[in-house]
Amino acid sequence: MAGLARGLVRGLAYGGDYNPEQWSDDVVAEDMRLMRQAGVNLVSLGIFSWVVHEPADGELDFSWLDRTLDLLHAHGVAVDLGTGTASPPMWLHHAHPEMLPQDGSWEPLAPGGRMGWCPSSPVYRRYALRLVERLAQHVGDHPAVVLWHVSNEFGGGNARCHCPESARAFRRWVEQRYGTVDALNAAWGTSVWGNRYTAFEQVTTPAGRTTHNPGHLLDFERFSSEALLAHHRAERDVLRRWSSRPVTTNFMVGFGPDVVDYARWAPHVDVVSNDHYTHGDDPWRHEDVAFAGDRSRGMSGGRPWLLMEHAPSAASWYAVNHAKAPGELARHALGHVARGSDSVLFFQWRAAPAGAEQFHSAMVGHAGERSRVYQDVVALGDLLGRVGELAGSTVVGARVALLHDDEAGWALRGGLRPVNGMPYAETARAFHTELFTRNVTTDVVPPWVDLDPYDLVVVPGLFLVAPSTAKAVAAAAARGATVVVTWFSGIVGPTGAVVTGGHPGAFRDLLGVLGDEFVPVDDGVPVPLDNGWVGRRWSELVAADDADVVARFADGTAGGGAAVTRREVPGGGTAWYVATDLDEASLGDLVERLLAEAGVAPVTDASPGVEVVRRASADASYLVAVNHDTGAPGWVAAHGTDLVTGDRHRGRVPLALGGVAVVREDAAPGSRSDDQ
């Protein structure tokens, strides 16, 4: 991944998905006026415009695109140009129905909608690349175009395909990965239930009803992600041949596991961009913003990334689609910026009256210019203009790493487990929440990153762990870091097979424990520890062979046994093991202890409910602060100028109830300084 995140536009990018092909010329003219009024400087164009460019097989026509690019350019709006391949034209569906992806019961996706193509379909690939090539040739150097946007939300509908083409491709992938059938049999443990293969041609995708082999399931997830990645790379390579503009595709980073493995995709985009939609019924949705932001930054190697889509107000796919509360638009936008985004982009500019998303919110709603959201959008545009110098700066001061890996999540869900249906990353988010509320900047990173910068390494429910990860985590502890590993981490290796000899296999030696048997606990039943902490859902029989017992299970089948252990690593730091799912208060206590031990402090002082993150460039240092408390005004400790108001403060910068501030600090530390 090249470092092209800055410089698309002057200041922070502001705008959203724009679909003028849905509208008449007078509406488009109105759009230009409203965009200027709102300070929009970047739109994503042409994401679903294949059929506009190619209304019939091979008949390319870019006249609409030319007109639109010229118009936007004339109005000072830069363009993130979609390749348009997300939605194949209906004429192509009609000609090639075999192109549709098929689910695990071999039912095809319907034509229409989005992503109606098998990632391994050679027919689709050929048509898509022909379009992309002609498009790049035609407008690859248009001055309005500053970024390429490959397809759209890869995997949204075609993440897992079981059609005959995919089955063939999967067999090739398996053969390539394992070389011999014996190696395949060993990896998947096919001797169990007598399912040994004797030739690669016998391998199928894990479709149909049965209790599938977990190794098989895991590899199919990997294959599927890579099949989509191959398509992304194919389009990207065509674009690079004909255009100098950077290339991205919009991720959908959540808690994970995601539909594709974004962390492993990240090296293949020039800039990480992300679509983020909160869950309306999540009371901590601002923390969800922070988690996704910390994770997006973790994928982009700390460099600025782009918030490619988020909702101006309500979505429409939840059971109840909540409108944003007053001020939430700005708070979420700044929340993303605080975590390293150089953009605030929305889906979508103008609400469509028809189509599947007719009730999804937009910057300009059905009621038009007068709508609340548009008024807030104008105000936010003004605010972003004031803080534009943030662009290009990076988040600094993260001394905590929280390891996250989609493969661990895939492995967790792909088989029968002591507790089934457990979502991956719940413990990760619980830890992140405790760090978030304490304003401790945390990098959510894939396990292969360099752990040297970190004084606290959190390994939360990382079910699958590669030997190299185990080694790196142990090395961090050996050089002095505090490491904390939680229940059901390090259980299986890269093939999904249990590391035998005692749990958690990957970390047994580091932690100095030997786990023998899992003792899950029903939902709602507390798991008391003897130090007053309370766990949930899980206990274990753990022998603390070479570790101190911090807390023991107070009762139950694991009663009297170790629940939380701590090992002082000879000549180094410490390695903690937490053998239950601590409740919020207990986890808060633990996190306090870990932070104290690791010597990690908050970014700065702030009143309760205030989020604060530091971004810095070579020239300046900034505090981005958001007051999520809508019941009381707040403050953040700083000396500097609030770019939002222009006021200078020493000691405490005030925050309105539900308000935001961006403080350019008086004593500018060096860029990317880690010393606060």
From residue 357, alpha-carbon distances to 113, 210, 314, 543 in Å are: 11, 36, 11, 55
For residues 557 and 673, which CB has a smaller minimum distance to a second copy in the complex? 557
Counting contacts by CB under 8 A, is residue 58 touching a second copy?
Answer: no
Q: Which residues, other chains included, contact 411 with Cβ-Cβ below 8 Å and sequence gap of 6+?
A: 214, 218, 463, 464, 492, 496
Which one of residues 183, 498, 585, 657 is an interface residue with a second copy (CB under 8 A)? 498
Q: Which residues, other chains included, contact 2 with Cβ-Cβ below 8 Å and sequence gap of 6+?
A: 246, 270, 271
Tokens read off for 113: 């909608």
Phi and psi at residue 629, in whole multiples of 5°? -80, 115
Sites for a second copy among residues 230-269 (CB under 8 A): none
Counting contacts by CB under 8 A, is residue 519 touching a second copy?
Answer: yes
The nearest distance, CB 348 to a second copy, in angstroms, is: 10
State yes or no: 650 annotated in a binding site.
no
Give the SS3 label for residue 406.
helix
Tokens read off for 347: 């889906």
**Residue length of the chain:** 676
For residues 189 and 447, which CB has a smaller minimum distance to a second copy in the complex? 189
Counting contacts by CB under 8 A, is residue 157 touching a second copy?
Answer: yes
Counting contacts by CB under 8 A, is residue 417 touching a second copy?
Answer: yes
For residues 301 and 556, which CB has a smaller minimum distance to a second copy in the complex? 556
Counting contacts by CB under 8 A, is residue 121 touching a second copy?
Answer: no
Nearest-angstrom CA–CA distance, 608 and 600:
19
Sites for a second copy among residues 24-53 (CB under 8 A): 48-52
Q: How many CB atoms sit inside 10 A of residue 483's CB? A: 31
Catalytic one among 153, 221, 540, 611? 153
Phi and psi at residue 662, in whole multiples of 5°? -130, 110
Task: Determine the distance from the C-alpha atom of residue 424 to the mean position of all C-alpha atoms in its chain, rounded to a whole number.
Answer: 14
Among residues 527, 526, 581, 574, which one has the least CA distance to residue 547?
Answer: 574
For residues 356 and 618, which CB has a smaller minimum distance to a second copy in the complex? 356
Counting contacts by CB under 8 A, is residue 427 touching a second copy?
Answer: no
The nearest distance, CB 63 to a second copy, in angstroms, is: 16
Sites for a second copy among residues 532-571 (CB under 8 A): 537, 541, 543, 557
Which one of residues 26, 126, 176, 199 is an interface residue with a second copy (CB under 8 A)? 199
Sites for a second copy among residues 619-648 (CB under 8 A): none
Sites for a second copy among residues 303-332 (CB under 8 A): 313-314, 316-326
Site stretch for a second copy (CB under 8 A), options 255-263, 268-276, 402-410, 521-529: 521-529
Counting contacts by CB under 8 A, is residue 367 touching a second copy?
Answer: yes
State yes or no: 117 annotated in a binding site.
no
Tokens read off for 316: 């429409």
Which one of residues 520, 572, 602, 654 is an interface residue with a second copy (CB under 8 A)? 520
Give the SS3 label for residue 459.
strand
Which one of residues 10, 61, 122, 202 is an interface residue with a second copy (CB under 8 A)? 202
Strand partners, 567: 575
Which one of residues 26, 176, 501, 675 is an interface residue with a second copy (CB under 8 A)? 501
CA count, 13 A, side-chain hemisphere, 100: 19
User: What is the pairing mode between strands 42-45 and 13-18?
Assistant: parallel
Catalytic one among 235, 287, 309, 328? 309
State yes or no: 222 annotated in a binding site.
no
Q: CA torsion sign, 647 to 652 to 653 to 656? A: negative
From residue 589, alpha-carbon distances to 241, 595, 603 in Å are: 55, 10, 19
Sites for a second copy among residues 332-361 (CB under 8 A): 351-361
Are 473 and 483 in contact by the 8 Å Cβ rule? The answer is yes
Counting contacts by CB under 8 A, is residue 668 touching a second copy?
Answer: no
The nearest distance, CB 452 to a second copy, in angstroms, is: 33
Nearest-angstrom CA–CA distance, 396 and 389:
16
Judge whether 287 counts as a catalytic residue: no
Counting contacts by CB under 8 A, is residue 609 touching a second copy?
Answer: no
Sites for a second copy among residues 168-197 (CB under 8 A): 187-197
For residues 113 and 122, which CB has a smaller minimum distance to a second copy in the complex? 113
The nearest distance, CB 83 to a second copy, in angstroms, is: 12
Counting contacts by CB under 8 A, is residue 521 touching a second copy?
Answer: yes
Tokens read off for 559: 């009663």
Which uninterrupted H or E stretch holds 63? Answer: helix 63-74
State yes or no: 648 annotated in a binding site.
no
State yes or no: 158 annotated in a binding site.
no
Task: Determine the distance from the C-alpha atom of residue 145 to the mean position of all C-alpha atoms in its chain, rounded to a whole number.
Answer: 26
Longest dimension (CA), the chain: 76
Are 632 and 341 in contact by the 8 Å Cβ rule? The answer is no
Counting contacts by CB under 8 A, is residue 502 touching a second copy?
Answer: yes
Residue 607 exposed, middle or buried by CB count within 10 Å (0-12, 13-18, 19+): middle
Counting contacts by CB under 8 A, is residue 167 touching a second copy?
Answer: no
The nearest distance, CB 309 to a second copy, in angstroms, is: 14
User: What is the pairing mode between strands 145-149 and 482-486?
Assistant: unpaired
Which one of residues 15, 365, 446, 494 is an interface residue with a second copy (CB under 8 A)? 365
For residues 22 and 671, which CB has a smaller minimum distance to a second copy in the complex? 22
Counting contacts by CB under 8 A, is residue 111 touching a second copy?
Answer: yes
Tokens read off for 99: 């192109």
Phi and psi at residue 627, in whole multiples of 5°? -95, 100
CA torsion angle for 516, 522, 526, 530 (degrees, to 10)?
Answer: -10
Judge whether 221 counts as a catalytic residue: no
Nearest-angstrom CA–CA distance, 509 and 513:
7
Counting contacts by CB under 8 A, is residue 487 touching a second copy?
Answer: no
Number of residues that bind a second copy (CB under 8 A): 121
State yes or no: 233 annotated in a binding site.
no
Which one of residues 11, 16, 84, 257 is an interface residue with a second copy (CB under 8 A)? 84
For residues 472 and 579, which CB has a smaller minimum distance to a second copy in the complex? 579
Known binding-site positions for Zn(2+): 118, 161, 163
Cite the annotated binding site for substrate by residue number.
114, 152, 317
Binding residues: 114, 118, 152, 161, 163, 317
Active-site annotation, residues: 153, 309
